[in-house]
């Protein structure tokens, strides 16, 4: 117990964390001189380290957060380490580009220091993803994990950082805030040393990122309608939706929220959903789901990321042990209908519509409630409907005849593979695409006189940067004294709880 | 009118007049004559502003006192908090903050270190070290390095340049032997009679312009001390607290001293104290007569609390990493400048952020100091070797300020060269 009242004017840890940014700044200066071979060696090593620990961290994350499914997290962790790197291995965000015809020389300029916020729902995959993107673009990164997943994230960042430095990355180019708190995060977001904030997480954090005065890439929440029209391959659609909805117990922002189905094929879809492992509730069961899982029209926060069978038990439903998703039919998409909103648990709403036009309207209504700019899915074989749906629903990606959770994230589609889905102007974001490496680097364009008589210069084979010194791992030379432990663990735990609750309330807001 | 709330001056000239009248006429004039019309006003980080409003980057740092920057916000907050509970304490009693700091310091020092004795400034802590050595070995003789500097208090002053001891009739040549730096034969000759209480060494002699110890020199001196039964006192006043990239320069040199003296930066310039860390052997008087050294302000508890924070900050991995980056950037930048003026800027002495720049002119560093000052940088020449400029950047600098320093330095070195070549001595006198 401290006898002295500690009346910090700035949040505890802020000075230390600002020091991390400054260290990152030094690292970034050096990193920006690396050539493509050095960068590839580093990313190679870090991706391999991430993959090697994919299972351990999947287990740890489920244990620490109490959310999700270990096997699915393993898949995501691998997708965000080796598979991500496989996708970008041949990309080059490091070497100059010579556009001889335009007489323009383009020189890549990394952002510098990225301040990255990662969520509790996708803790490790997002850490892996952002760290690899930072490294591919020669940025330093300071990760601030969600307090609900801070232990596993801090460990993962250390492992990635060690792998990077061992492969020749500048000391301090990957760091982690070990004791994140809201005031601390706000202090770091507004710090002048932060070059760009990449915020994935609750709405509160994303808004704060945009208020910071620093460049920010923050993304909004999703609320994914899955429209199944009369022309769809119903059995395939049912399988895709159930697989997608049950993925990681539905804690991704890309998981489907509700099915919109044309009346004509509704009964058939319901049968197929049952075959695919969903339990379609009777009206009486839906009432129990509402009462127990959505009391007062709000999703129960303690059930986030729990499995369908656990939810069924909570609601007092008897379902087969193999049940992966609970489907709850409802009649009208209106803002106060919780079954039409984002649900971070494997309960899927289902609403019937008389025709295609009504289906599109229902999807629009869902996005009016929440999730604008994010994702929608459609199961159809009619191109005209697919195009009209894409043009009508206020989202920036529509996946076709695939499960949306991995579809929008670029795993089952050719969208950029990502853990950060840009929600664009509709979703109050500066980014309308899936976040990918190119978003973290600017280019200096060296442009010559357009007059044909003025020649362009020959830049082939030239290196724009010289790396005078080969970096050494200064910090690993001798271990420093560990920082004094935060005494108020209970206070912190309380704060974590409050933080999670606040964020989730945002989702269930009416 | 310059109104500082607590006092005011009509003008800068008025201030300097009163400084001559009421404080120190010679020192006041010395700087005016050297072209440094500095009266430090506001201070923040590695910057301060002259009364006239000119911004200067501090590369003097009072010898490392402002290692963590002027008015470091973490230290201000620490001191403010400490003042809610503590004052300087009572020097006779077991004291909370003094004990806590002693324990923390012993943990950072070499394994043979046991206890801490406190002074109020570096010189006093050196006096304590020398008194402790004399008590331990029951001998009077102290060996120090020619052109070393350990402070101007009663005993310490005897170890340094006679300019300062003779002035006050305080030279005792029979007790203080001086040998040249990096000369092991001279050191051995001085110790051979086994009548020496201690050898006292700055790990890198600051006021002499940071000549670097030859590889193995400090370790060899330590071995000679053991061979001839004398104590090794490490003066870490300027080389401690991460300035060499390690917490203590002497540990980096691989030497276990018998006594280590710490001052200046340990309180970040907020509430001065100084510390003398001693081994078990050197703790004897603390068991025999603990009142042997008394100092009311020595180890003032407010200073101790600040020092604990300084140690914590210096121990952070971020700091270690940054010192390394800063040192490397300066090394590169200074060598690039040296390539432009190879006949003028003839040497770079560097260990971490402890640096001495050597110029090919008897008072070259005074010229460079003047031009640096004119270009917004304050760095001081070496009193005991005016060819050498002491170049002492802080350990928390960011890349932008380092680059700015290098830009300014390049221009100043060029202008000083031009002045030296044209033979103009301007206001510089040796
Ligand atoms: C190496 C060294 N030792 C001791 C001292 C004396 O410290 P103080 O001025 O606090 O008495 C100094 C001061 O410059 C110093 O540089």
Per-residue model confidence as pLDDT tens digits over B15-32: 999 999 999 999 999 999
Among A29, A30, A475, select the one facing B320 at the smallest CB separation: A475
Q: Kindly list the strands in the beta sheet with B231-235, ordered across the sheet, starting from the edge strand earlier in the chain.
A: B113-119, B274-279, B259-262, B231-235, B196-202, B141-145, B176-179
Domain contains A458: no
Instruction: Give the residue from A273, A124, A133, A292 showing the smallest Cα distance to A217.
Output: A133
Q: Judge whether A73 lies within some domain.
A: yes
Residue B183 has pLDDT above 80, yes or no: yes
Three-state DSSP class for residue A108 = strand
Q: What is the mean predicted confidence (pLDDT) over A222-230?
A: 97
User: In the listed set A386, A420, A443, which residue is the last one of a domain according to the structure?
Assistant: A443
Are residues A95 and A111 part of one domain? Answer: yes
Given the CA of residue B207, which atom of ligand 1 is nearest to it? 16
Say what the pLDDT of residue A356 is. 97
Could you identify the atom of ligand 1 that is nearest to the CA of residue B148? 1
Residues B305 and B341 placed together within one structural domain of the fold: no
Going by pLDDT thresholds of 50, 70 and 90, the confidence category of residue B423 is: confident
**Nearest alpha carbon to residue B237 among B318, B159, B332, B174:** B159
User: Of all residues in chain A, what percent carry a pLDDT higher than 90?
Assistant: 81
Tell which atom from ligand 1 comes closest to the C-alpha of B153: 11
Name chain B contacts of A468, Cβ cutoff 8 Å.
332
Judged against a pLDDT cut of 60, whether residue B425 lies above it is answered with no
Read off the CATH number of the domain in which A275 is found.
3.40.309.10
What is the chain A residue with the closest CA to B86? A4
Domain ranges, residue B220: 74-314
Domain end point (choices A398, A428, A443): A443
Strands of the A113-118 sheet, one edge to the other:
A174-176, A140-145, A113-118, A196-199, A216-218
Residues B338 and B396 in one domain: yes
Look at residue B28 and tell me if it is in a domain: no
Answer yes or no: do A262 and A127 share one domain.
no
* pLDDT of res. A470: 58
Q: Is B123 in the pocket of ligand 1 (CB under 6 A)?
A: yes
**Contact status, residue B273 vs residue B294, Cβ threshold 8 Å:** no
Residue finishing a domain among B265, B289, B314:
B314
What is the number of domains present in chain A? 2
Tell whether ligand 1 has an atom less than 6 A from the beta carbon of residue B119: no
Residue A454 or A488, more confident: A454
What is the average per-residue pLDDT within A451-474?
82
Number of domains composing chain B: 2
> Judged by CB atoms within 8 Å, which residues 383-402 of B form the interface with A?
396, 398-399
Q: Please check whether residues B254 and B140 belong to one and the same domain.
A: yes
Contacts of B173 (CB under 8 A, 6+ apart): none
Closest Cβ opposite residue A26 in set B316, B322, B332: B322
* Residue A23 in this model has a pLDDT that exceeds 60: yes
Q: Is the CB of B240 under 6 A from ligand 1?
A: no
Asked if A506 and A203 touch (Cβ cutoff 8 Å), the reply is yes
Q: Are residues A233 and A198 in the same domain?
A: no
pTM over 0.95: no
Q: Is residue B3 part of a domain?
A: no
Residues B194 and B136 reside in one and the same domain: yes
pLDDT of amino acid A4: 59
Least confident of A37-46, A249-258, A454-463, A465-474: A465-474
User: Quick one: pLDDT at residue A10?
Assistant: 67
Catalytic annotation on A253? yes
Confidence class of residue A13 from pLDDT cuts 50, 70 and 90? confident
B252-264 confidence digits (pLDDT tens): 999 999 999 999 9
Residue A195 shares a structural domain with residue A231: no
Q: Point out the residue among A4, A22, A480 whose CB comes nearest to the CB of B81.
A: A4
Same domain, B267 and B357: no
Tell me which of A31, A187, A475 to substitute to probe the interface with B (most B C-beta atoms closer than 10 Å). Answer: A475
Has residue A506 got a pLDDT over 70?
A: no
Judge whether A325 and A246 are in contact, CB under 8 Å.
yes
User: Quick one: average pLDDT of A481-507?
Assistant: 48
Which residue of chain A has the CA closest to B242? A480
Instruction: Measure in Å the smallest separation between the Cα of A15 and chain B Cα atoms.
Output: 7
Q: Given an 8 Å threshold on Cβ–Cβ distance, is B316 in contact with A171?
A: no
Cβ contacts of A8 on chain B, cutoff 8 Å: 77
CB spacing of B398 vs A22 below 8 angstroms: yes
Among B231, B224, B309, residue whose Cα is nearest residue B269: B309
A484 CA from centroid of ligand 1 (Å): 31
Q: Please answer yes or no on whether A16 and B84 come within 8 Å at the CB atom.
A: no
Q: Report the residue among B62, B67, B123 best suited for mutation to probe ligand 1: largest number of ligand atoms under 8 A from its CB.
A: B123
- For the cut 60, the answer to whether the pLDDT of residue B211 exceeds it is yes
Q: For residues B310 and B321, state if they share a domain.
A: no
- Whether residue A461 lies inside any domain: the answer is no
User: Last residue of some domain: B274, B296, B314?
Assistant: B314
d(CA B96, CA B78): 16
| A148 plus A257 within the same structural domain | no
Range of the domain at A144: 14-219+436-443
Q: Note whether A190 and A230 are same-domain residues.
A: no
- B179 and B284 together in one domain: yes
Residue B103 has pLDDT above 90, yes or no: yes
Check whether B378 has a pLDDT greater than 60.
Answer: yes
Question: Is the CB of B150 inside a 6 Å radius of any atom of ligand 1?
Answer: yes
Whether B135 and B285 have beta carbons less than 8 Å apart is answered as: yes
Q: Hey, is the C-beta of B339 within 8 angstroms of any chain A C-beta?
A: no
Is A230 in the same domain as A103? no
- Residues A47, A121 share a domain: yes
Q: What gap in Å lies between CA A498 and CA A27, rounded to an integer?
A: 35
Mark whether B288 and B388 lie in a shared domain. no
Do A283 and A391 lie in one domain? The reply is yes
Work out the average pLDDT over B183-188. Answer: 98
User: How many C-beta neighbours within 10 Å does residue B79 have?
Assistant: 19
**Are A160 and A230 in a shared domain?**
no
| Contact flag B399-A15 (C-beta cutoff 8 Å) | no
pLDDT interval class at A171 (50, 70, 90): very high
Residue-wise pLDDT for A333-363, tens only, equals 998 899 999 889 999 999 999 999 999 999 9
Q: What is the pLDDT of residues B354-374, one digit of tens each?
A: 999 999 999 999 999 999 999
Considering the domain boundaries, does residue A493 fall inside one?
A: no
Q: Is A365 domain-assigned?
A: yes
Q: Pick from B282, B314, B346: which residue ends a domain? A: B314
Look over chain A and give the mean of its residue pLDDT values, rounded to a whole number: 90
Same domain, B189 and B240: yes
Distance B399 CA to ligand 1 centre (A): 29
Predicted confidence band of residue A509 (pLDDT cuts 50, 70, 90) = very low
Distance from residue B123's CA to the centre of ligand 1 (Å): 6
Q: Is A484 exposed, middle or buried (0-12, 13-18, 19+ CB in 10 A)?
A: exposed
**If you search the block for the tokens 């120090």, which residue do you land on?**
B144
C-beta atoms of A9 and B77 within 8 A: yes
Least confident residue range of A1-5, A87-91, B394-398: A1-5
């Amino acid at each position: 117990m401290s006898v002295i009242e500690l009346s910090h004017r700035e949040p505890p840890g802020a000075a230390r964390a600002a020091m991390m940014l400054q260290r990152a700044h030094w690292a970034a200066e050096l990193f920006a001189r690396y050539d493509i071979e050095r960068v590839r060696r580093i990313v190679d090593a870090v991706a391999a380290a991430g993959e090697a620990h994919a299972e351990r961290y999947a287990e740890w994350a489920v244990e620490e957060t109490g959310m999700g499914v270990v096997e699915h997290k393993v898949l995501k962790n691998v997708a965000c380490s080796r598979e991500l790197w496989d996708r970008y291995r041949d990309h080059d965000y490091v070497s100059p580009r010579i556009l001889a015809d335009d007489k323009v020389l383009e020189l890549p300029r990394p952002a510098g220091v990225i301040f990255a916020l990662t969520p509790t729902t996708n803790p490790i995959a997002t850490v892996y993803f952002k760290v690899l993107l930072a490294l591919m673009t020669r940025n330093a990164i300071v990760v601030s994990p969600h307090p609900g997943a801070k232990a596993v994230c801090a460990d993962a960042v250390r492992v990635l950082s060690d792998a990077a430095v061992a492969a020749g990355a500048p000391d301090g180019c990957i760091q982690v805030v070990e004791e994140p708190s809201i005031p601390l995060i706000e202090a770091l977001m507004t710090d002048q040393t932060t070059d760009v904030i990449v915020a994935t997480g609750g709405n509160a954090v994303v808004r704060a990122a945009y208020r910071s005065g620093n460049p920010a890439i923050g993304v909004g929440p999703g609320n994914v309608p899955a429209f199944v029209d009369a022309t769809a391959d119903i059995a395939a659609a049912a399988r895709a939706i159930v697989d997608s909805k049950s993925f990681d117990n539905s804690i991704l922002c890309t998981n489907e929220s509700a099915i919109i189905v044309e009346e004509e094929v509704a009964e058939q879809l319901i049968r197929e959903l049952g075959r695919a492992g969903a339990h379609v509730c009777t009206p009486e069961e839906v009432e129990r789901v509402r009462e127990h899982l959505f009391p007062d029209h709000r999703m129960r926060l303690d059930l986030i990321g729990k499995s369908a069978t656990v939810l069924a038990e909570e609601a007092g439903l008897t379902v087969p042990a193999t049940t992966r998703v609970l489907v709850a039919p409802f009649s009208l998409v209106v803002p106060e209908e919780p079954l039409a909103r984002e649900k971070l648990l494997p309960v899927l709403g289902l609403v019937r519509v008389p025709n295609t036009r009504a289906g599109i309207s229902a999807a629009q209504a869902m996005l009016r409630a929440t999730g604008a700019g994010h994702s929608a899915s459609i199961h159809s074989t009619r191109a005209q409907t697919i195009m009209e749906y894409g043009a009508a629903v206020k989202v920036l990606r529509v996946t076709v005849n695939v499960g949306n959770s991995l579809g929008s994230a670029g795993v089952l589609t050719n969208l950029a593979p990502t853990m950060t889905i840009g929600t664009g102007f509709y979703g109050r974001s500066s980014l309308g695409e899936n976040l990918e490496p190119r978003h973290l680097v600017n280019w200096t364009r060296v442009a010559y006189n357009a007059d044909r008589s003025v020649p362009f210069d020959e830049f082939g084979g030239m290196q724009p940067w010289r790396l005078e010194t080969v970096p050494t791992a200064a910090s690993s030379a001798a271990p420093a004294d560990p920082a004094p432990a935060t005494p108020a663990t209970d206070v912190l735990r309380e704060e974590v709880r409050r933080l999670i609750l606040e964020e989730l309330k945002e989702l269930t807001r009416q | 009118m310059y109104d500082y709330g607590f006092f005011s001056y009509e003008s800068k000239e008025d201030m300097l007049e009163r400084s001559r009248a009421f404080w120190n006429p010679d020192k006041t004039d010395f700087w005016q004559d050297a072209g440094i019309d500095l009266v430090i006003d506001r201070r923040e980080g590695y910057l301060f502003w002259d009364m006239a409003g000119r911004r200067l980057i501090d590369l003097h740092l009072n010898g490392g006192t402002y290692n963590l920057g002027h008015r470091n916000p973490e230290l201000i907050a620490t001191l403010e908090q400490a003042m809610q509970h503590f004052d300087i304490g009572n020097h006779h009693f077991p004291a909370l903050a003094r004990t806590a700091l002693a324990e923390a310091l012993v943990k950072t020092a070499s394994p043979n270190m046991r206890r801490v004795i406190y002074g109020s400034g570096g010189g006093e802590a050196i006096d304590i070290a020398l008194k402790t050595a004399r008590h331990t070995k029951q001998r009077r003789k102290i060996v120090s390095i020619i052109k070393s500097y350990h402070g101007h208090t009663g005993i310490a002053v005897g170890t340094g340049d006679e300019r300062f001891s003779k002035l006050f009739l305080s030279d005792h040549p029979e007790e203080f032997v001086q040998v040249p730096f990096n000369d092991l034969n001279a050191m051995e000759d001085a110790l051979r009679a086994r009548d020496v209480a201690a050898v006292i060494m700055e790990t890198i002699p600051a006021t002499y312009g940071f000549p670097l110890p030859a590889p193995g020199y400090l370790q060899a001196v330590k071995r000679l001390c053991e061979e001839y039964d004398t104590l090794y006192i490490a003066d870490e006043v300027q080389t401690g607290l991460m300035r060499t990239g390690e917490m203590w320069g002497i540990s980096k040199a691989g030497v276990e001293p018998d006594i280590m003296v710490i001052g200046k930066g340990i309180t970040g310039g907020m509430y001065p104290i100084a510390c003398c860390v001693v081994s078990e052997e050197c703790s004897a008087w603390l068991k025999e007569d603990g009142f042997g050294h008394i100092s009311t302000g020595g180890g003032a508890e407010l200073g101790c609390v600040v020092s604990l924070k300084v140690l914590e900050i210096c121990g952070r991995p971020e700091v270690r990493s940054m010192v390394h980056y800063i040192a490397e950037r300066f090394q590169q930048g200074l060598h690039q400048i040296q390539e432009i003026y190879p006949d003028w800027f003839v040497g770079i002495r560097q260990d971490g952020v402890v640096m001495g720049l050597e110029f090919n002119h008897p008072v070259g560093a005074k010229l460079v100091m003047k031009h640096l000052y004119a270009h917004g940088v304050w760095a001081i020449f070496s009193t005991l070797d005016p060819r050498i400029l002491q170049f002492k950047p802080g350990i928390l600098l960011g890349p932008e300020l380092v680059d700015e320093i290098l830009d300014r330095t390049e221009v100043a070195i060029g202008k000083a060269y031009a002045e030296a070549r044209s033979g103009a001595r301007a206001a510089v006198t040796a």
